[in-house]
Amino acid sequence: MYSFKNDYSEGAHPRILNALLESNLVQDEGYGEDQFSREAIDLLKQKIGRTDVDIHLLSGGTQTNLTAISAFLRPHEAAIAASTGHILGHETGAIEATGHKILSVAVDNGKLSPTDIQAVLDLHTDEHMVKPKLVYISNSTEIGTIYYKNELEQLSDFCRKNNLYLYMDGARLGSALCSEESDLTLSEISALVDAFYIGGTKNGALLGEALVICLESLKEDFRYHIKQKGGLLAKGRLLGIQFLELFRDNLFFEIAFHANKMADLLKNELVKENYTFLTHSPSNQIFPILPNAIITELQSKYAFHIWEKVDADYAAIRLVTSWATKEEAVAAFINDIRRL
């Protein structure tokens, strides 16, 4: 049974494991004050091209989202998210549990536009309702689509004109930036959003996300929020060591390129077999639409999610590739599709 279920089925890139082993007996400070975390944060600032951002290392995406969003919002303020947004459907109500409503927008491609946000603002006009204050987006999105530079520029301009925070979930930011269609850089993202995070968990790390706070007014006392939400790890070095290894050279981007390449191989071969897709996804998640009978046969050899029923005879499945996906596994999957 080979898994295409997600991009965290495997442990971590061998270089990260080696770095953790080699530093294992080095004594250092706790709670992210260690030399590895400090060096990793300085390195990330270099990669982003800014020294005026604050960077915090947290363990996971849900923890990062709930800590950041609850810290940025006042009690009566709400977040706006696409109907497919991770904070809306896959975080067990973590944001709502901190007292902040999520205002959902139905979209087809997983992405928000200024028009979508304006519709929410038009419905929330006074103190009898929650006040929309933060716009949540993901890059890549939960259905594999990515934001292009002009789209992010339009969102950024709209949010700033309407006094809204723009926050980007970057759980799969590596895949988004390394897509052949991407025209964004880390530096450009930092100039267009108020906060975002660089995901390590889904791109070769054992665990870890690097939250980048760009807007000055959101920085104050943030470590207090991390501690209160249980995110200030005594052995914070474990996060620092991993990000230091990922960004010491080009490893973070190299392994994201590999994940995308494996997804492209799957996609291109499925296109040759005349299959269609639920979305146009240039990242490491693809959503082919297959006959139910073939899906059942494939499930005897491969693990994947059945994402959405299309009609009585067809469904869209989700195939996710990772830094560790083997080309032989992709070839085997395609051969089985052809055979079936």
What CATH number has the domain bearing residue 157?
3.40.640.10
- Written as six digits, the tokens of 151 are 């789209």
Q: What percent of the chain has pLDDT over 70?
A: 100
Q: Which helix (H) or strand (E) holds 47?
A: helix 35-48
CATH number at residue 291: 3.90.1150.10
Give per-residue pLDDT as tens, 66-85: 999 999 999 999 999 999 99
pLDDT for 329 equals 97
**Is 249 within 8 Å of 229 (Cβ atoms)?**
no
CA distance 233 to 33: 10
Do residues 129 and 23 share a domain? yes
CA distance 240 to 226: 16
One-letter amino acid identity for 323?
Answer: W
Average pLDDT, the chain: 97
Number of domains the chain contains? 2
pLDDT for 236 equals 98
Give per-residue pLDDT as tens, 6-22: 999 999 999 999 999 99
Do residues 52 and 144 share a domain? yes
Give per-residue pLDDT as tens, 138-191: 999 999 999 999 999 999 999 999 999 999 999 999 999 999 999 999 999 999
Do residues 204 and 270 share a domain? no
pLDDT for 126 equals 96
The closest of 211, 196, 206 to 56, measured between CA atoms, is 211
Residue range 114-132: mean pLDDT, rounded: 97
Residues 6+ apart with CB under 8 A from 280: 109, 145
Per-residue pLDDT band for 312 (boundaries 50, 70, 90) equals very high
pLDDT exceeds cutoff 90 at 102: yes
DSSP-H helix ranges across the chain: 14-22, 35-48, 61-72, 86-89, 94-97, 114-123, 149-161, 173-177, 186-192, 222-228, 237-248, 251-272, 292-298, 327-339
Give per-residue pLDDT as tens, 261-301: 999 999 999 999 999 999 999 999 999 999 999 999 999 99
Of 199, 220, 251, the one marking the end of a domain is 251
pLDDT exceeds cutoff 90 at 59: yes
CA distance 66 to 226: 10
One-letter amino acid identity for 14?
Answer: P
Do residues 174 and 292 share a domain? no
- Written as six digits, the tokens of 259 are 């994940």
Q: What percent of the chain has pLDDT over 90?
A: 99
Per-residue pLDDT band for 319 (boundaries 50, 70, 90) equals very high
Residues 6+ apart with CB under 8 A from 214: 50, 53, 190, 191, 193, 194, 195, 196
pLDDT exceeds cutoff 90 at 89: no
Residues 6+ apart with CB under 8 A from 97: 66
Q: What is the DSSP string of 111-153?
A: ---HHHHHHHHHH--STTSPEEEEEEEESS-TTS----HHHHH
Do residues 195 and 305 share a domain? no
Do residues 200 and 52 share a domain? yes
Do residues 256 and 244 share a domain? no
Do residues 110 and 224 share a domain? yes
Residues 6+ apart with CB under 8 A from 229: 63, 66, 67, 70
Do residues 39 and 166 share a domain? yes
Of 235, 251, 267, the one marking the end of a domain is 251
CA distance 116 to 164: 14
Do residues 202 and 90 share a domain? yes
Do residues 310 and 164 share a domain? no
Do residues 302 and 158 share a domain? no
pLDDT for 71 equals 98
Domain range for 279: 2-7+252-339
Of 230, 251, 272, the one marking the end of a domain is 251
